[in-house]
Amino acid sequence: MRWILAAVAAVPLAALAQSADPTRWQLNMTPGVTSSSQNAYDAHMLVLWVCVGISVIVFGAMAYAIFAFRKSKGAVAAKWSHNLKAEVVWTVIPVILLVIMAWPATTKLVAMYDTRDSAMTVKVTGYQWMWKYDYLGEDVSIVSRMDRESDRIRQSGERPSLAANPYYLLDVDNELVVPVDTKIRFVITADDVIHSWWVPALGWKQDAVPGIVNEHWTQINEPGVYRGQCAELCGKDHGFMPIVVRALPIPEYEQWLQAEKAKAAPVAAQAASAVAAPAAG
């Protein structure tokens, strides 16, 4: 009995201790690490508490009626077909509740789709079965595939363990590195079939459709590593194209970006000289 009480007491604590990664016995959705995800979480909690209130009142009234007006006490059902007062009340109250829920939900939804005033743009392209990230205007491109160790384990038929491989099928070779406290616009497309770019901690997912450019934005508040996966069935390796977003403080991000540019520079210089060479000759 005592362990049941302890378990019940521990559940709300576990639910409060949210992190970007899902936790065991997590009950609620994650508040995430962006304003969009916090908005979604707040809208969800508002609706949840409205539902709790409705349930308490409705089931309370039912329980009371069942108990207080039982047949053994000689209760006789009232006979009436219309009651204007009751009909007005049970129409007006739900309408008010719907407006209370719809108003913040709509403002949050509008904010979620407002990509104006973003400081940088990352183009995300889905491929069977990897992601490509282009930092537009920076000449930096990253191809992000599932890490080779996960691939080796899955092909070998070995049984991975949580202790030895905590991020089995969830790690990538090249992470998407972004700065915190920066409004980042994402333009999202695909090269072959429909994929969907989804990182739960960011609070949104967006379809990556060939021939169409969808957009979204995010502003990450806390440095950290946030994981996601392709969320649109896209072929036999759909389950093997994870996403890893590493959010760095702005100075560290700038350092990383310069290092990536330096890595890309010799290649670009070679390409330029190769183009220039025939012209010179």
Residues that bind Cu ion (CB under 5 A): 195, 230, 234
Place of tokens 């539902």: 51
* Residue 170 or 264 with smaller CB distance to Cu ion: 170
Nearer to Cu ion, 129 or 226 (CB): 129
Shortest Cβ 131–Cu ion spacing (Å):
9
Question: Which of residues 146 and 202 has its CB atom nearest to Cu ion in the complex?
Answer: 146
Question: Considering beta carbons, is residue 108 or 123 the nearer one to Cu ion?
Answer: 123
- Report the nearest approach of Cu ion to the CB of residue 216 (Å): 17
SS3 label, residue 21:
coil
Contact of 118 with 185, CB cutoff 8 Å: yes
Q: 84-112 and 35-68 are packed helices; what angle lies between their axes, rounded to 10 degrees?
A: 160
Minimum Å gap between C-beta 195 and Cu ion is: 3
Could you tell me if 227 and 199 are in contact, meaning their C-beta atoms sit under 8 angstroms apart? yes
Tokens 């089931």, located at residue: 59
Residue for token digits 């590593």? 225
d(CA 84, CA 91): 11
Taking the complex as a whole, the smallest distance from the CB of residue 128 to Cu ion amounts, in Å, to 7
